[in-house]
Amino acid sequence: MLRYSLKRFIQMAVVLVIYATLVWFIFYAMPGDVTMKFIGNPKIKPEAIQKMRVQFGLDKPVYIQYALFMKSLFTGNLGISFNHYPRTVWSIIAERWPRTVTLFLTAIVLYYAVGFYLGKVIAWRRGGVADYTATVGGIMLWTVFTPWWCLLLIWFFAFKLDWFPLGQFVTPKVWMLAPVGSNFVFTRMLATGLFGPLAILVGWWGLRKVVHDSRTRKWLNWGVTAGILAISLLVWANSGLGKYALDILWHMGVPLIALLTIGFAGSMLLMRDSMLETINEDYILTARAKGLPERVIRDHHAARTALLPVATSFVLAIAFALNGAVIIESVFSWPGIGRTLVNAVATQDYPLAVGAYTFLGLFALIAHFAADILYAVLDPRISYKRGEGA
């Protein structure tokens, strides 16, 4: 298991290097450099442009520029943004990434939960009106033109029904006298969202080792879940940051609805196909022969095995969400990494653009890596074989 993880890690590092090279190449090595946009400007003298070129190191040969870039990348120095001068690229990214991650992580968890449940149920029923409507409806939403659908949702929920705000991610009025920045709240929310469920899972795992009687263990599991949830809520309420978090959640409303409707079909169909394959397995027949009730067979036996490909695609979805982030954030004016990237490219702020792309690439690679590990963990057959070095 360890050997396998290490092997994958090294592969990932290599790909990251290739990726960074490609990104750099696209932005910096193409004919016509960054100073080109100033050439037509009569106010800027040619000597000033030349000085700029020297300052940005653009007069050096290409391979030296590349070497310098790689070196600074490894030391974590992503340069200074052109447009947000004198802020460093890193500070901008650090400020914005929690916003993207909070929104998309929540969305993915939600639509996978919905997709998992729907896929499980309609696969078990095998055909019928529910199957047809869910499939056709889901696929139509999957292929819908995202900005169009988002505009429709904005118009409906934010304007017609007035349930949610029209865009942005915070209401300035609420935050005017806030003691902390939005980033602070975001990171705390993210931490709760990640460590809360993690704590619950650890609790369940611990109970499994200690308590052998499955019936009392089920009660204790629920107790642990409720307990951790209660503690989280109490901490938030006490810290006085509760209302800021709520404001953020309120702004996440329509984007989440959009992401949910667009995304659920993917996981639902994957789960359904996976279930249909699993249902034909012999051990499902054995489970029926054992006289177990339908729900137990469906959830405990079929769904559990069918979950494997879905779980992996979940982690990969995080990587692909970054594709969607570019689009969604632009439509909703959600100032996360996606929107930053688009703006940076549009305004030719190359250091920021390269920084944003590098961040995205790194995130995607980590997600792929986590997906591989997760699959190996979930399927005892694979970790066994891999562990043996087969």
Residues numbered 281-300 forming contacts with other proteins, rule: CB under 8 A = 281-283, 285-293, 296, 300
Token couple for 169: 């991610």
DSSP 184-224: HHHHHHHHHHHHHHHHHHHHHHHHHHH---HHHHHHHHHHH
Under the binding rule (CB under 8 A), the answer on residue 380 touching other proteins is yes
Task: Supply the minimum distance, in Å, between the C-beta of residue 30 and other proteins.
Answer: 4
Query: Which residues, 6+ apart, have CB-to-CB distance to 66 below 8 Å?
Result: 21, 24, 29
**Count of C-beta atoms within a 10 Å radius of residue 50:** 13
Under the binding rule (CB under 8 A), the answer on residue 62 touching other proteins is no
Q: Which of 52, 105, 327, 374 binds other proteins (CB under 8 A)?
A: 327
Under the binding rule (CB under 8 A), the answer on residue 370 touching other proteins is no
Residue type, 340: T
**190-228 exposure pattern, b = at least 16 Cβ within 10 A, e = fewer:** beebeeeeebbeebeeebeeeeeeeeeeeebbeebbeeb
**Binding string to other proteins for residues 176 to 205, with x set by CB under 8 A, is what?**
------------------------------
Contact positions with other proteins (CB under 8 A) in 303-322: 304-305, 319-320, 322
Q: Please give the Cα distance from 306 to 271 (Å, whole number).
A: 7
Q: Please give the Cα distance from 382 to 389 (Å, whole number).
A: 11
Under the binding rule (CB under 8 A), the answer on residue 268 touching other proteins is no
Under the binding rule (CB under 8 A), the answer on residue 366 touching other proteins is no
Under the binding rule (CB under 8 A), the answer on residue 383 touching other proteins is no
Task: Supply the minimum distance, in Å, between the C-beta of residue 15 and other proteins.
Answer: 7
Dihedral sign for Cα atoms in the order 43, 47, 50, 52: negative
Stated as kind and residue range, the H or E segment containing 27 is: none
Contact positions with other proteins (CB under 8 A) in 139-158: 139-140, 142-149, 151-152, 154-155
Under the binding rule (CB under 8 A), the answer on residue 159 touching other proteins is yes
Stretch that binds other proteins, among 52-60, 63-71, 110-118, 207-215 (CB under 8 A): 207-215
Under the binding rule (CB under 8 A), the answer on residue 83 touching other proteins is no
Residue type, 93: I
Under the binding rule (CB under 8 A), the answer on residue 350 touching other proteins is yes
Q: Which of 1, 18, 180, 249 binds other proteins (CB under 8 A)?
A: 18
Under the binding rule (CB under 8 A), the answer on residue 7 touching other proteins is no
